[in-house]
Structures are given as structure tokens and as C-alpha cells.
Amino acid sequence: MCGIIAYTGGEDAAPVLFEGLKRLEYRGYDSAGIVTINDSGEFELKKQVGKVQDIHNELNLLDLSGSIGIAHTRWATHGGVTQKNAHPHVSNNSEIAVIHNGIVENYKELKALLVSKGFHFESETDTEVIPNLVEYWMDSKHLNFIDATMKTLQSLEGNFAVVLIDRDTRTIIGAKNGSPLVLGVGERKKNELFLASDIPAFLERTKNVVYLYDGDMVVFETDPSSKKRSYQIFDFRGRTERPIIRPIQSVSWNLSHATKGDFDHFMLKEIAEQVETIQKAAAQDPEHIQNITQSIRNAKGVFLVASGSSYHACLSAGYLFAKLASFHINTVIASEFSQYESFLKPETLVIAVSQSGETIDVLDAVKTAKEKGCQIVSIVNVVGSSLTQISHKTLLLNSGPEISVLSTKTYTAQLAVLSLLAYSLAGRYEEGVQKLKFLWNIVYNLTAATTRNKIKELATRLATHDHIFVLGRGPLYATALEAALKIKEVSYIHAEAFAGGELKHGPIAMVKKGTPCIIFVSRDTVKTILSNAMEVKSRGGYIIGIGPEPIESFDFFIKVPESNSLNPICDIIPIQILAYQLALILGHDPDKPRNLAKSVTVR
């Protein structure tokens, strides 16, 4: 939720910040704004409701002057989507500006304190208390900007990433507690520094990053005489007064991973990238896989914990662990994990799955497990994320940045990694690797233009419907759940998934003439799921079959070759394409679905 980008360097800040905002817009696109400090030492600020490019077309964000500034793209939490609620926010004395991701849970108490001291507020946001608290500490206690900011950070409750800029000293301060914030270090000759919610924001200018930890406060300062820019990291919680040393690491991502290239949308690009990303996910260190496999084998109780699409990947994997390795795994939605607290012991293993590694429900679940002494393994795509920092062991998806709000390539990458673990637990690791390699040709054909064009025909038929039902059995029930989610997220058509056997326990009452029903078929489930298909067909339903062979009862058929235990990886891809095509036909932006943002970092 929300995108943060800050810059100090030798070039004009506005173009750098503008490009950073466009690359972060998947994190929120309700409103956006930029503030810079010009050569006269004055703030120049522009912000507005809408998408970044539209705001630029109206206000010309590039004519803000100065070589230092901060910018924000918002996903609204506190306060409506209005110009006054857009970030950045400025203190009452116009000396301090702030951008913020997260929620200040005690903002009402802090706001009441500041109002009693004569402060006024322009917005409905919780964010506005932050610069005014800094002003309060600077004025009332005569603290400098750094000390006043540290005092302010210590008073904030909740998860946040925050960046402040002081007009007088031209100092930038960034801090994080449970929300993402990463430091970018430019080449020495360029003398540039960046802060951002995610690496793609500054990837064009540097691959050198410092992963910040919860409690870190980084200070950017510029020497007035030499103009040299430097940074120091402190612990704002006060556990040590000495600066903290965090290593500079080089990321392997290329700018092409964070741009659309020849594709119209990131969603379509990332669907196509699955030809490679599934293989990259499968290319794990065998020794590391065996080490985690042994942890699973030794544990007394194993939980798979995730949210959204990642939860569906875990649910599918639960079937695979049972079938391949005769091993039971508990699969729990992260937001409900606290209800299982009494089952957690030091011998329990929790496997947390998250694309971003910043999903607040997953982080809360892991923290609950760690309090009980559990071992934590994370499966995550973002190196240095909060989840990797609090896990004992980590498996990386290696998918590169996923910019589209909808999870596509990281969902199938999660399935690939979880499948490897299941095969490894069954003592069939090499077989699992080979089967995943075999998927290359299937995935290539499924993402090819011919398949996309065929699915576009189906999308044209379905776009006029208000309801779509999806059926599957076994692991393909989890696929049905993911399919329904994909359709809902981007087309806004109501889609609902059921286990095939549950159809006659109520849902069939909703079927009438022409009702579209997508049915996932595999060799294992063909007999039972086809009886469900006939139940729908006999009531006038329109049957879309996805599986290895066409069947007479299907009105529309999408061929997906049989891949046995790996069917869930391949079978979801046609639905990803269908969801994309539905969005286009209905006039929606597939990369920016309404009311959604890429990473859910607030409760």
C-alpha cells in the first residue's frame, strides 16, 4: 500500500521522482504528489487526486525545481481520496514535509495533543500528525531535526514507512517499522541517494541497495561546502546510540524486468514470463531444499500460512504433500492464524508464503509463531523483505519484480517451489525437478498468441455475464479458487468457486440457462467432475472445460496437456489470460484494478 520515493543528488529531482512514482504506481493510484526544495530553500509542492500520468498532464510535475525531494503515490486508508489527503503533507510552519506508508494507530491521541498546543490540521489523514510532531519537538524542546524525528518515531504506534525532509537543513530522514523501505546508493561519481518502497523505483539509476530493518532510521545529509552526500543509519528505538552498519548489496534485476517492453500491460508481460519464471523457481540449491525438507520431516506439526493467491498456492500444495509424501500439512489463512495459537510449540514448523514478504497478515502470523518458539521458513520473491528478515530459512522464488497488482508469475512460481518440497519429502526430488523442466513447452504454448486469441473469443462471450462459476476437485479445487479470484480482481465480474462435490449442496440453485461454469478436469478427477458438469449442463449452464481432452458436454474447450501432480501450475494460466481479456473488453486497466494495491501492508 502506497509508494514512497526520495532522491538527493546532482540532477533535478523532479524527473527522477516522477519516473519513480510511475514505477511504484502499482502500490497505490488514488492520488500522488511531489515536493522539492528549490535553490532558494523553499518547498515546491504539487499533489492531486488521480493516476500519476494524469496528474502530470494537469499540473506538470516536471517543472518543480531543486535537486532534493520526496514523492508519494497513495492507496487511501485514513481519509477519503481528496487533494488535501494526498501526500506529501507539510508541518504548520511549512518547514517539514512527510510521505508515509502504513497506519499511525494512535494518531487520535497524538492529534489531540497537538491541537491542545495550537496546531491545526488540513487533512483527514493520520499522516499529518508526523511533521507537526517533529515541529513540536523542535520548537518546544529545542531539538534538532534528527533528534526531533527520532522522538516522533518513538511515539508512533503501528506499522509504517516514513520519509521526512527538512527545508532548513535539506536533510532527508527515512524510517521503517513493519512496512517496506529500501535505500539505494548511486555510483560514487554520481553521488546520489534514494529511498523507496521497492527497488524498481530507482533501478534505472542504481542496483546497489541497502535493505533496512525494522527500527532503522537512515539520515541523508549534504556537506554545504563539498556538496558531498552521505548517509548514516541509526536505531530509532534507542537500543544503541552508535550508527548501524548495513551491507550494500547488488541486485540481479535488470530494468527490463520492471518495464513493459513490447507488451501493453505488465499483467500480460508477466503471464508470458512464466515460461522462464517457473524454471527459475525450480532451479533451487538441492542442498538447501534437502535441509528444509529435513526440517519438515522433523517437525511436530507443519503449517502453511499465506494470504490471497499465496494461500491458494498453499492449499493446492497441501493436496500434493498428502498424495506424494503421505504427509499432512495444515494450511491456514494468515489473518486467521492466531486462532491456532494453542497448537504452536517449539517443535512446530511454520512455512510462510508471500510474494512481497511485506503482507501484514503474514508478518503478524509469523511473529505469533516466533513468540511460541516455532521455526520459520519463508517462501518469498523479494530479497531483504521483512519476512526474510524474521525467518530462520528462506526459499526465493527468483521471479524478478512483479509489477501488476494481480499475482500471475509468482503464483505459479510458488506452486513450483512447494511442489519441489513435496517431491523432496517423498524422496523423489530429481523426478520433481525433471517434471518441472518438462512444463516449459506446455507453458510456452499456453502463453502463445494462438491460445490468447482463442481465449479472447471466450472472453467476448463471458463479458456480458454478471456471474461465473468455477468447479474443481482435489488440488484443482484450489485452482478453481484462484481462478475465481483472478476474474473478480480485474474484471469485477462476480466469480465463485466450489469443490465439485459441493455443487448439489446448495450452489446449483444459482444455475440457470446460459450461466457460465468453468470446469477443471484432470485424469484423476475426470469421472467425478464430469458428473458435476452434467448437473450444470442439464440446467442450461454454459460449460467451459479446461483439461487434457475435449468432452461432449463442453460448450467451449481449452486444452491443457496432462501434467499429473503439476496440473495446478498449467491449468491456471488460461484463466489468467481470460481475466486479462475480460478486463480489456470491459474497459478496465488490468494493471490497476479498483480498490486494490499490490502489497497489503495494513490491517
As annotated, the active-site residues are 2, 598
Q: How far is CA 284 from the centre of its chain?
A: 22
DSSP structural state of residue 117: T
Q: Which of 219, 209, 197 is nearest to 153 (CA)?
A: 219
Q: Which of 144, 141, 79 is nearest to 111 (CA)?
A: 79
Q: What number of residues does the chain have?
A: 603
Question: Which residues 6+ apart lie within 8 Å of 536 measured at CB?
Answer: 469, 471, 503, 508, 511, 515, 517, 519, 543
Q: Is the dihedral of CA 74, 79, 81, 83 positive or negative?
A: negative
If residue 595 lies in a helix (H) or strand (E), which one and from where to where?
A: none
Instruction: Map residue 193 onto helix, strand or coil.
Output: strand
Instruction: Map residue 141 onto helix, strand or coil.
Output: coil
Hey, what amino acid is at 368? Answer: T
Sequence-ordered strand ranges (E) for 260-412:
302-306, 330-333, 349-354, 375-380, 393-396
Hey, what amino acid is at 135? Answer: E
Question: Which residues 6+ apart lie within 8 Å of 424 measured at CB?
Answer: 289, 290, 293, 432
Hey, what amino acid is at 218? Answer: V
- 3-state percent breakdown (helix, strand, coil) of the chain, nearest 5: 40, 20, 35
For residue 600, the number of C-alpha atoms closer than 13 Å in the C-beta half-sphere is 19
Cα separation, 105 vs 350, whole angstroms = 28
- CA distances to 24, 157, 200 from 212, rounded to whole Å, are 18, 19, 16
- All cell numbers assigned to 205: 539509476
- All cell numbers assigned to 182: 529500501
* Beta bridge mates, 220: 172, 231
